[in-house]
Amino acid sequence: METTGLFKSSMRFFSDQELCYADILTPQEALARIQVAVLNFLRILSSSTPAISNLPLIDRSSNNSRVNQGILTDESWIFLSHSFSTRSLMRANAAKAFVRVWKLMEMCSQILLQEKRVTQRELFYKLLCDSPAYFPTQLHVNRTIQDVVTLLRCSRFSLGVMASSRGLVAGRLLLQEPEQETVDCAACGSSGYAISGDLDLLQKLTLKTDARYVIVIEKHAIFQRLVEDRVFNHIPSILITAKGYPDIATRYFLHRISKTFPHLPIFGLVDWNPAGLAILCTFKYGSIGMGLEAYRYACNVKWLGMRGDDVQLIPQESLVSLKPRDLQIAKSLMSSEILQVSYNNPHLNG
């Protein structure tokens, strides 16, 4: 399939590095890309030398990821370079993944034609009913969405797939949806204001603030306590939580705030453990798992909270041993380029 020649969604950084990214398209443009992919497949299948073409996808492994360091700003982000993997019907271990791509594109076409949007969870139930043998779990849907994103070079939102949001915001922020009343996030109680999963709606929000800081908080319980104590009145700030690992909508919302108010420093209050550092890195650099969409949500988040030097202030009996999962996360972080970029550039740590 000659998809790579049709969708030039890349920009060159250096002579040997190219950032591949996902375009944000209208429903009509996304449908057109799906149709081109189908026509290419049929053209090769019906040619004088028919064949079932492989699907060329950008490799989403850590080996194909890089951390781009901003030259004119403090921002850095993960990007994927121009290295391909394939989905093939001819290989037994990839045949189902090959079929999943086409079935998911078919479902996205129906959603776009109906001018609707669905969450990834809703998409899973639709595909489970339609093709249970190919989509028995949510993980199969999530991975196939990324396959389609890398094939068509457009964002999941362009395909009609909406983010499921767990995020909350509170503090000195006024926001207004089109033709709706203004919401004062300082008056939403300890539960805060729920961040919408509709990225198009988040883009259209009118935002106003007199805050001096943005604080991203890992733990929901800590967020609630700070909101109950109205910390944002003592430290003029906007408080945001994703209740753990950040979802796309919360990351997009934070990115929107950072672009609307570029003078506001952003701090990440996370646990001093591998998971907390991984959460901080996800906000700061993006994630490899997001593939071509990773860089769109990166923000210049600085680390707020205890460091290694502070451990001596804590009684030994209060320390908790790392679990196997913690050690696995730590090993992954230490082997990645992310921490090495931060170590070699101390100003990135805040």
Amino acid at 161: V
Euclidean distance between CA atoms 348 and 291, whole angstroms: 23
Let me know if 134 is a catalytic residue. no
Euclidean distance between CA atoms 347 and 350, whole angstroms: 6
Provide CB contacts within 8 A for 265, sequence distance 6+.
Answer: 213, 214, 302, 350
Q: What number of other Cβ atoms are within 10 A of residue 127's Cβ?
A: 22
Q: What is the DSSP string of 184-196?
A: EGGGS-TT-EEPP
Catalytic residue among 125, 193, 252, 343: 125
Euclidean distance between CA atoms 76 and 66, whole angstroms: 10
3-state helix, strand, coil in the chain (%, to 5): 45, 20, 35
β 193-194/168-171 pair status: antiparallel
Q: Is 81 helix (H, G, I), strand (E, B) or coil?
A: coil
Distance from the Cα of residue 167 to its chain's centroid: 13
In the chain, DSSP assigns E strands to 10-14, 17-20, 55-58, 65-69, 76-80, 84-87, 118-119, 161-162, 168-171, 174-176, 183-184, 193-194, 206-208, 213-217, 237-241, 266-269, 301-304
Provide CB contacts within 8 A for 191, sequence distance 6+.
Answer: 168, 224
Euclidean distance between CA atoms 52 and 59, whole angstroms: 21
Euclidean distance between CA atoms 323 and 30, whole angstroms: 44
Query: Which residues are catalytic, by number?
Result: 125
